Chain A
Amino acid sequence: MLRFLVAKLTRAFLAILFVVTFAFVVLRLSGDPALMILGPETTPEALAAFRKSWGLDAPVWQQFLGYLGNLTEGRFGQSMRDARPAIDVVMERVPITLWLMLPALALKILLGVPAGVLAALKRNSTLDRAIMTFSVMGYAVPNFVLGIFLILIFAVQLGWLPSSGSATWAHLILPVIVLGTAGAGILARFTRSAMLEVLGQPYVRTAVAKGVPWWRVVNWHALPNAAIPTVTVIGFMMGSLIAGAVVTESVFAWPGLGRALVVAVSNRDLAVVQVILLLVAACMVTSNLIVDMLYGWLDPRTRIPKAGVGGG
């Protein structure tokens, strides 16, 4: 187990280092933070003063080494735009993002998984086709289009819900539906495929032949075996929770991390970008670890050491 964890964490560390280095070099070489933050009308003197103040006039490699050095000391740097610690800028957005993304994830799972199971159990029926049609539509329709459509109906025409913002729970409904619909469509398709594969397995036929009740066959034999691909997809969704949803956040003016990342990248606010990337990478790694552990719990065969496989 320890070796497993060490291997995973080493890979995760290398992945994070690569992401951070790549982002730093690309962002630093492709845009001048002084021009981005102060704007094109700014005087050359002001631009020069800004660059000098932030050390942007040093060679990029020197800036990067300094950055890495600070990271090892636990310092994430200052936001050039906000002139305060980048970690503060980012962390104040985390609750707002989770306030949107967690209900959306719950909706995806609560809607997508049962729909996929139902479609598989009623394979080739009208219900199956209807569920699959909606699930394809769910992830085929861009969030931007669905968002505007829902705003037009529920905010503009009916006046039931606010069109944008994040002040109350009512502001949550439309963006959660937009995010949840797309994710539920994906989960429904994955769950259906996995269930169909499992339902055709000999052990399911055996269970049915032995007279095990159908609900028990589905819940005890089919679902756990079909859960692995579904759990993988949910793992990815959990990992990307913290990254927010850029398009949906823009449409609904939701001040989450997705929008913060876009603003930070377009302003070349390097410290903020790097903190967000580190956070996203850390979440991805953690969720992957959790998923790997869940595999072992869901399917005991994955716990057997490699040496034993095919060793005979």
Chain B
Amino acid sequence: MSKIDRRKLLKSGAAAASVPFVLPRIAIAQADNRPTITVAVQKVANSNTLEVLREQSNVGARIFYSIYEGLIDQDYQGNLEMKPGVATSWRRIDDKTVELKLRQGVKFHNGDTMTAEDVVYTFGPERMFGRGGAAEPGRTLFTQAGGGQGKEPPPEIAAVAKRCWPQLDRIEIVDKETVRFHNKTPDVTTEGRIARMVSEIISRRGYEEAGSWLEWAQKPIATGPYKVQEFKADRHLILASHDEYWGGRPPIKELRFVEVPETASRINGLLSGQFDFACDIPPDQIATVEKNPRFEVQGGLIGNHRILCFDRQHPAMVDPRVRRAMTHAIDRQAIVETLWLGRTRVPAGLQWEYYGPMFVADWKVPEYDPKLAQKLLKEAGYKGDPIPFRVLNNYYTNQVSTAQIVTEMWKAVGLNVQIQMRENWQQIFDKSTQRGVRDWSNSAPFNDPVSSLVNQHGPQGQQQQIGEWTNAEFNTLSEQLETSTDRERRKAVFKRMLEIAEREDPGYTLLHQNCTFTAKRKDIQWKAAQAFQMDFRARNFQMPKA
């Protein structure tokens, strides 16, 4: 019998103590039969980076939810309400300040534990707002790197950050578990801005240790359930499970987003078993997929509305009655039924239910009334002057068909609208020849009308910036909506702004809510979000039992 001395006892004690740490890892290594899942997408990223501040796109939103997480999350499988993210709770200190309690034990992809310093750094000048010395223009177009090759982020990063956080003053570390967001002016939308894309928390060490900004932007270190393993522009993005994810071990070992530009190829790849998911399926292909009982198409409404924008500078459209006639001449429901097979709907104006108390429930888009449209045109003295309608070749799903249908509806009431096909957005915005009507879509990045009606159509919004439309009263109200903290007053202001922009002096008119459809293997339990985001966390993904 061996003698147990103090040294042996200590050794066995240490070994015993390490068992809880070692065993799960051995178990993970031995029993990792998690699947590799392949998702075919039309585009992985437009800007060839995975930096949320540069890739401000719908396709980016789809992949970022697997890599990044914000302090406040949204219930994408539910009604998009805010819910805890890497912060467990939040509360208002005053009309300029929001306090958040950080979730403890959150690990970044590089193994570091998230701290309050990481939160401050995420919103700091080095990463987000710039230090004023950002990439000066080079000698010529082709001589410098646009900020990508040095450590300094390209200048558009700071521009995006300032637009998303126009009044952010500072972030204060109260203690290691608590941070406070201080705004310069009263702002009821701070929580929404914390929840929106661009406010995801990143690792300070990960950012600082990257060889260049571009290196960071192609392999960001964040807290999401999957970490970037390989990103090949225009080809694929391979994510690997982040096993230390605070929300539990991710259910997929390797998640591959593969770029397949052709719809038919995405569908055929799914049907042949090469892909598990195929995104961006047009409505007319849903039946093709669902003919095979092993597959289904999921998805539907997302927080994005298709609209038509009017250029008030066009001589025939200066009179608001002509634009009002245009809004009443469109049978939106017919478009929904025919082109979208009834899978979308005509929304209640440029707003979403997830605005909560700010949602104006009794608001409706202008009703389809051809007689009223004809009456308004007669009153306005419209003489059939041609109005150009610049259209891109299906940048939006069903864009050309929709344009053709709407043009015929306008023709039926006496409007002479002429479709002009254009290749790109510059040609759509081009002012050298008369503009008339164009397509657009609007989202609400957070749950307040400021995020859409003010940001897109207000004084700093695109429509006014390119000189399409403006309205003095609307602009005054925009400012009030941004700064007022009186909920009743804000709601009244919002309703009045809808009246102006959609009925009295239309700057745009709603067509329908947008949809996105994802085809998938039926045996995989997964639910599409009411947004572009795809959630592959354990709570929303389950493989069939063997």
Do chains A and B interact in one complex? Answer: yes
> Which A positions have Cβ atoms within 8 angstroms of B?
30-32, 35-50, 52-58, 62-63, 66-67, 69-70, 75-78, 80-84, 89, 148, 151-152, 155-156, 159, 162-165, 250-253, 255, 259-260, 263, 266-268, 270-271
B residues in contact with A250, CB < 8 Å: 261-262, 265
Interface residue B12 (Cβ < 8 Å from any Cβ of A) = no
Range class of the B interface residue count:
35 or more
Q: 10 nearest interchain CB pairs? A: A83-B148, A66-B140, A77-B142, A46-B159, A49-B155, A32-B426, A45-B159, A155-B272, A46-B156, A253-B260
Contact (Cβ within 8 A) A53 B272: no
Q: Which residue of B lies closest to A29 (CB)?
A: B426
A residues in contact with B144, CB < 8 Å: 54-55, 78
Alpha-carbon separation in the docked complex, A156 to B275 (Å):
12
Contact (Cβ within 8 A) B214 A48: no
A164 and B274 in contact, given A46-B163, A69-B140 (Cβ under 8 angstroms)? yes
B residues in contact with A271, CB < 8 Å: 141-142
Contact (Cβ within 8 A) B268 A152: yes
Interface positions, chain B 125-141, Cβ under 8 Å from A, are 135, 137-141
B residues in contact with A42, CB < 8 Å: 56, 156, 160
A50 and B156 in contact, given A63-B141, A78-B145, A164-B274 (Cβ under 8 angstroms)? yes
Q: Which residue of B lies closest to A44 (CB)?
A: B465
Contact (Cβ within 8 A) A84 B56: no
What are 10 sample pairs from A and B whose C-beta atoms fall under 8 A apart?
A50-B146, A50-B155, A53-B146, A66-B140, A67-B141, A82-B233, A83-B145, A148-B264, A163-B265, A268-B424
Interface positions, chain B 433-468, Cβ under 8 Å from A, are 440, 443, 460, 462, 465-466
Interface positions, chain B 246-279, Cβ under 8 Å from A, are 258-262, 264-265, 268-269, 271-274
Q: Which residue of B lies closest to A57 (CB)?
A: B137
Alpha-carbon separation in the docked complex, A148 to B465 (Å):
45
A40 and B156 in contact, given A56-B141, A63-B140, A165-B274 (Cβ under 8 angstroms)? no
Could you mark each residue 230-254 of chain B with 1 if its beta carbon is under 8 Å from any beta carbon of chain A, else 0? 0011110000000000000000000
A residues in contact with B159, CB < 8 Å: 43, 45-46, 48-49
Alpha-carbon separation in the docked complex, A56 to B265 (Å):
37
Contact (Cβ within 8 A) A253 B425: no
Alpha-carbon separation in the docked complex, A76 to B273 (Å):
42
Q: For the complex, would chain A's binding face be called helix, strand, loop or mixed by DSSP majority?
A: helix
B residues in contact with A66, CB < 8 Å: 139-143
A259 and B234 in contact, given A31-B427, A55-B138, A251-B262 (Cβ under 8 angstroms)? yes
Interface residue B154 (Cβ < 8 Å from any Cβ of A) = yes
Separation in Å of the A83 CB from the closest CB of chain B?
Answer: 2
Interface residue B540 (Cβ < 8 Å from any Cβ of A) = no
Q: Which residue of B lies closest to A148 (CB)?
A: B264
Alpha-carbon separation in the docked complex, A30 to B214 (Å):
28
Interface residue B158 (Cβ < 8 Å from any Cβ of A) = yes
Interface residue B47 (Cβ < 8 Å from any Cβ of A) = yes
Contact (Cβ within 8 A) B47 A151: no
Contact (Cβ within 8 A) A39 B426: no
Separation in Å of the A89 CB from the closest CB of chain B?
Answer: 8
Contact (Cβ within 8 A) B265 A251: yes
Q: Which residue of A lies closest to B57 (CB)?
A: A39
B residues in contact with A37, CB < 8 Å: 46-47
B residues in contact with A159, CB < 8 Å: 272-273
A164 and B269 in contact, given A40-B440, A49-B156, A271-B142 (Cβ under 8 angstroms)? yes
Contact (Cβ within 8 A) A36 B141: no
B residues in contact with A69, CB < 8 Å: 140
B residues in contact with A266, CB < 8 Å: 424
Contact (Cβ within 8 A) A162 B426: no
Interface positions, chain B 189-246, Cβ under 8 Å from A, are 214, 232-235
Separation in Å of the A168 CB from the closest CB of chain B?
Answer: 12
Q: Which residue of B lies closest to A158 (CB)?
A: B272
Interface residue B48 (Cβ < 8 Å from any Cβ of A) = yes
Interface residue B476 (Cβ < 8 Å from any Cβ of A) = no
Interface residue B378 (Cβ < 8 Å from any Cβ of A) = no
Q: Which residue of B lies closest to A269 (CB)?
A: B48
Interface positions, chain B 156-180, Cβ under 8 Å from A, are 156, 158-160, 162-163
Known A36-B424, A38-B54, A255-B259; 20 more pairs at CB < 8 Å: A35-B425, A36-B426, A39-B46, A53-B154, A53-B156, A58-B140, A69-B140, A81-B47, A82-B214, A83-B145, A84-B145, A151-B264, A151-B272, A155-B274, A156-B272, A163-B272, A250-B261, A251-B262, A253-B262, A255-B235
